[in-house]
Structure 1
Amino acid sequence: MDFSLPEFFTSLVDSGNGLLWGSVLIYLLIGAGLYFTVMTRGIQFRYFGHMFKLLRHSRSSGDGISSFQALSTSLAARVGTGNLAGVAVAISLGGPGAVFWMWMTALVGMATSFVESTLAQAYKTDHGDGTFRGGPARYIERGLGMRWLAIAFSVCLIIAFGLAFNSVQANSIAQAMEQAFSIPTWIVGVVLIVIVTPIIFGGLKSIARVAELVVPLMALLYLLLALLVVGLNLGELPAAIGTIVKSAFGLEQAAGGALGYAVSQAIINGIQRGLFSNEAGMGSAPNAAATATTKPDHPASQGFIQMLGVFLDTLVICTATASIIIMAGPELLQNDDVNGIQLTQMALTQHVGDWGGMFIAIAILLFAFTSVIANYSYGESNVEYLAGPRHAARVILIYRLAVLAMVMIGSVASLGAIWNFADLSMGMMALINLIAILLLSPVAFALFRDYDRQLKAGKEPVFDPSQFPRLSQQVDHKAWPKR
């Protein structure tokens, strides 16, 4: 079964994607990341150890959602099939050098993640049940006074993350289970619905608890496997790293006269896949960041925690996939018929035997399943924002049923151009979010300086809205009471 869009609409969507993802967003995302890095004097480097220090105390939250649970939820969305298939596509199209540019994208993206997540915390609203809601829609409306733009952002996010990408993740699970274990796709769809339903009907607290349990476990298992592969090929590790660096700058291709093209392909594919994977600047992770009860009680503390999410996604998990593929040898990369998830499966099978392919299928199941529930949570927060408190319960029920329908449809059908439309929606929400955080960045910088000043004075940073006259008029004082 194939769900397609009219040809003229498909052409329009493809043109929009080409413009957004081919030029505008790449330059804007990288440019914003570099700007935030310069303005914070390299916050991701200077406070690298501080991220881990905060992580040790991130699980306390009272009745709410902890900083660690919010991080796990955002990682559940970030760590998906892109970490398995996306890395393989980047290497297939851009060569091993694409991995280097994925690293560079993540390093500047960490600063972007700090800014958007700090803003999400600053403008969060009290939900009345010990938890909070927030994200780009809230900081666009409260900080910029542009409700119309906030509505446009929410609609784009619901289309992309809430509905379409959940069908994509379900399709990945169904295809992997059918290929590895010959389980019919419709059975996979039914089982997914049975598992997902109680989690999403339990609300954001339920999703946060599941993410807190599953995400660290699945990431640890995958990293242990990657370490096993590296251990089996330890003598080849320096050569693999050398291949990545040389390919990134075209040193291996220079002799063949293909230097310019090789470097451009490595840069383009590395940056694109890196941005898709870590989502820094997209406006998705701030929806999770805003739900946290922070410790220390300051917006910037969750900004540091969310920076760690970008690091773990790209510089750790994506690097693990790249190691598995590159250490399998150059012969595998020369096979034009193998790309995407098949490349990762074949590389792992070459290292550890036939069970490697089955392990990847199970990894896809866990990675994609957690992405489904996290993507749902992003959508719920924005559905609630659009519906308002009076109609929220009824509209969220309709949204939950729509998500379950998309999970089933995605399991059994090819959605064709509809997925391209989801990419366009995500591109639009990223564009809106980047403009918003650039305009609001002085607020994030001021909050960072306040946090930094208190930290250097030997105090545990505490946010006092009254110290920020303009911000004090915009924040929810139930979420951030005056001190």
Structure 2
Amino acid sequence: MDTIIDVVNKIFWSYLLIYGLLALGLYFTVRLFFVQFALFPEMLRNVIGRKGKDSAGITPFQALCTSLASRVGTGNIAGVAVALYLGGPGAIFWMWMVATLGMATAYAESTLAQLYKTRNEDGDYRGGPAFYMAHGLKAPWAGALFSVCLILAFGLVFNAVQANSIAESMEGAFGFSRLWVGIGLALATGFVIFGGIRQVARVSEVVVPFMALAYLLVTLYVIVVHINEVPRVFGMIIGSAFGLDAAAGGVAGAMLNGVKRGLFSNEAGMGSAPNIAAVATPDPHHPSSQGLVQALGVFIDTLLICSATAFLILLSGTLAPGSGLTGTPLTQAAMRMHIGAAGDDFVAIAIFFFAFTSIIGNYSYAENAMTFLRAGGRTGITLLRLGVLAMVVWGALESVTTVFNAADASMGLMATVNMIAIVLLSGTVAKLTHDYRRQRKAGVKPVFDIAHFPELASKVDKTIWSRPAEPKI
């Protein structure tokens, strides 16, 4: 079984997804006329939008924080260090490139998730790739396949992996028992997830900005202290990216490791973040509005937080290819160089917050998938929550390598199905983007009215999108 899983993962992660997601990002960047650059100010404007009288969803800011809760995990600390060790400083340049393209893909999939969202039995918004596959493509079987893969990968196994990282870091930094770390983590997780997606959103909008700002402020301090070294570091990154200096892995190694780390971290095109994007009440009331918010999430995850880890390491002088020092120990060694012995504790605490928020963020995606599978009633959701808590405790205690490989295969299949779906629906994304831009250019606050898109009338919930035009601003 392990051999089969390894072969499947090699096909997905060495060929289909690496090249497929890159091509997808380039395709949407060109087709949508460089939306991630042209509408960047709109991303910042839309993230502070309000729900108004529409209480069926969460706020755009809560949706952004919840998606960042899942995106920003131990990979932002350990994964970046591995990319630097294997690919050299140039890996960071290629991370930037893939994130820039990925912003267009993230915009496209989250815009579709907003368009095809529905209401559950409690009247709350639910949606995501499974819904636009079922309603937009009339392929409910694809939505079911996607949902099952998402629940297995994000809802269960990846949460065990995050718990394992927390237990390992707490044991190493403070000597805590892995069992008690697992139990404490399960209790904290249960407090959040038994309140449902709204509780996840409320916690995320407090914890995520706190953890991100704390990490970025430490990085800013390091950069200010070493300001004279910053131009040299940029030179290392560019030189290594294009083979202008001798670096681990050469150009091919820098590109491969940077692209992989960027794709795995920001998740653009994989179909995860659209599950929470659909739950938001966008402001302006247009599907593109929430797509722009989630594109900003890719920018924050990779171009800010992953870059922060890279600069911490490259300014410390601890990166030595062939030394065997990589992953979390490399980041800890770099932090020790900057702030002394407290560096180990800071990294351990950062891992705790990054991984814990990933657990609750991942859960919110799985709850959404349960709704699509018509298992979103009290019994089904309770079983999911108990399953998440069990995986957290188990992950804190056990090695999860084999089951993690199986989850990778599940996520690979999920992402492949999603990529095909958003390409097939790319015409709809282009029309929505044009509609949003047209209204902004006319000086009005964009509002989506299904009456102007008769070809979509039978595919979306008209009670959500039949709205009067907004006054000029």
**Which TM class, normalised by the smaller chain length?**
over 0.9
Q: Quick one: which of 64, 68, 72 aligns to 1:71?
A: 64
Report the more deviating stretch, 335-344 or 320-329. Answer: 335-344
Report the more deviating stretch, 50-59 or 412-421. Answer: 50-59
Say whether residues 1:216 and 2:204 are aligned partners. no
Residue aligned with 2:77, SS: helix
Paired amino acid for 2:252: S
The residue that corresponds to 2:442 in the other structure is 457
1:373-419: CA deviation from partner (whole Å, max 9, x where unpaired): 01011011101211356xx2211111111111000000111122110
Gaps of 5+ in 1: 1-8
Residue aligned with 1:293, SS: coil
Q: Quick one: which of 301, 307, 316 aligns to 2:289?
A: 301
Paired amino acid for 1:283: G
TM-score scaled by length of structure 2: 0.96
Say whether residues 1:332 and 2:325 are aligned partners. no
Cα distance change, pair 60–103 in 1 and its aligned pair in 2 (3 A): farther
Determine if contact 2:17/2:412 at 8 Å carries over to the other structure. Answer: yes
Determine if contact 2:126/2:371 at 8 Å carries over to the other structure. Answer: no
The residue that corresponds to 1:272 in the other structure is 260
Provide the C-alpha distance between the structure 2 equivalents of 1:73 and 1:358, rounded to a whole number of angstroms. Answer: 25
Q: CA RMSD in A?
A: 1.4
The residue that corresponds to 1:381 in the other structure is 368
The residue that corresponds to 2:7 in the other structure is 15
Q: Quick one: which of 66, 76, 89 aligns to 2:82?
A: 89
The residue that corresponds to 1:4 in the other structure is none
User: How many Å apart are 1:55 and its aligned residue?
Assistant: 2.4
Determine if contact 2:86/2:321 at 8 Å carries over to the other structure. Answer: no
Paired amino acid for 1:78: R
The 5-angstrom pairing of residues 61-460 of structure 1 reads 62-63=54-55, 64-127=57-120, 129=122, 131-253=124-246, 262-329=250-317, 332-334=319-321, 336-388=323-375, 392-460=377-445
1:427-465: CA deviation from partner (whole Å, max 9, x where unpaired): 111100000000001111101111111111110111101
User: How many Å apart are 1:127 and its aligned residue?
Assistant: 2.7
Paired amino acid for 1:278: N
User: How many Å apart are 1:158 and its aligned residue?
Assistant: 0.7
1:173-211: CA deviation from partner (whole Å, max 9, x where unpaired): 110100000000000011011111121111110000000
Residue aligned with 1:236, SS: helix
1:309-347: CA deviation from partner (whole Å, max 9, x where unpaired): 000000000000000011111x53235221111110111
Determine if contact 1:247/1:253 at 8 Å carries over to the other structure. Answer: yes
Report the more deviating stretch, 123-132 or 272-281. Answer: 123-132
Provide the C-alpha distance between the structure 2 equivalents of 1:452 and 1:468, rounded to a whole number of angstroms. Answer: 16
Determine if contact 2:90/2:237 at 8 Å carries over to the other structure. Answer: yes
Report the more deviating stretch, 191-200 or 307-316. Answer: 191-200
User: How many Å apart are 1:423 and its aligned residue?
Assistant: 0.8
TM-score scaled by length of structure 1: 0.94
Paired amino acid for 1:340: G
User: How many Å apart are 1:129 and its aligned residue?
Assistant: 4.1
The residue that corresponds to 2:471 in the other structure is none
Percent identity over the alignment? 52
Paired amino acid for 2:28: F
Determine if contact 2:64/2:294 at 8 Å carries over to the other structure. Answer: yes
Determine if contact 1:126/1:479 at 8 Å carries over to the other structure. Answer: no
Provide the C-alpha distance between the structure 2 equivalents of 1:413 and 1:269, rounded to a whole number of angstroms. Answer: 28
Provide the C-alpha distance between the structure 2 equivalents of 1:14 and 1:168, rounded to a whole number of angstroms. Answer: 18
1:55-74: CA deviation from partner (whole Å, max 9, x where unpaired): 23357675330111011100
User: How many Å apart are 1:470 and its aligned residue?
Assistant: 1.6
Cα distance change, pair 231–164 in 1 and its aligned pair in 2 (3 A): same
Paired amino acid for 1:139: Y
Number of equivalent positions? 467
Determine if contact 1:186/1:412 at 8 Å carries over to the other structure. Answer: yes
Provide the C-alpha distance between the structure 1 equivalents of 2:369 and 2:47, rounded to a whole number of angstroms. Answer: 27
Residue aligned with 1:479, SS: helix
Cα distance change, pair 354–12 in 1 and its aligned pair in 2 (3 A): same
Determine if contact 1:167/1:406 at 8 Å carries over to the other structure. Answer: yes
Report the more deviating stretch, 115-124 or 336-345. Answer: 336-345
User: How many Å apart are 1:296 and its aligned residue?
Assistant: 0.4
Paired amino acid for 1:53: R
Paired amino acid for 2:229: E
Determine if contact 1:60/1:66 at 8 Å carries over to the other structure. Answer: no
Determine if contact 2:95/2:261 at 8 Å carries over to the other structure. Answer: yes
Determine if contact 1:454/1:461 at 8 Å carries over to the other structure. Answer: yes
Cα distance change, pair 388–422 in 1 and its aligned pair in 2 (3 A): closer
Cα distance change, pair 409–60 in 1 and its aligned pair in 2 (3 A): farther
Gaps of 5+ in 2: 469-473
Q: Quick one: which of 25, 32, 36 aligns to 1:33?
A: 25
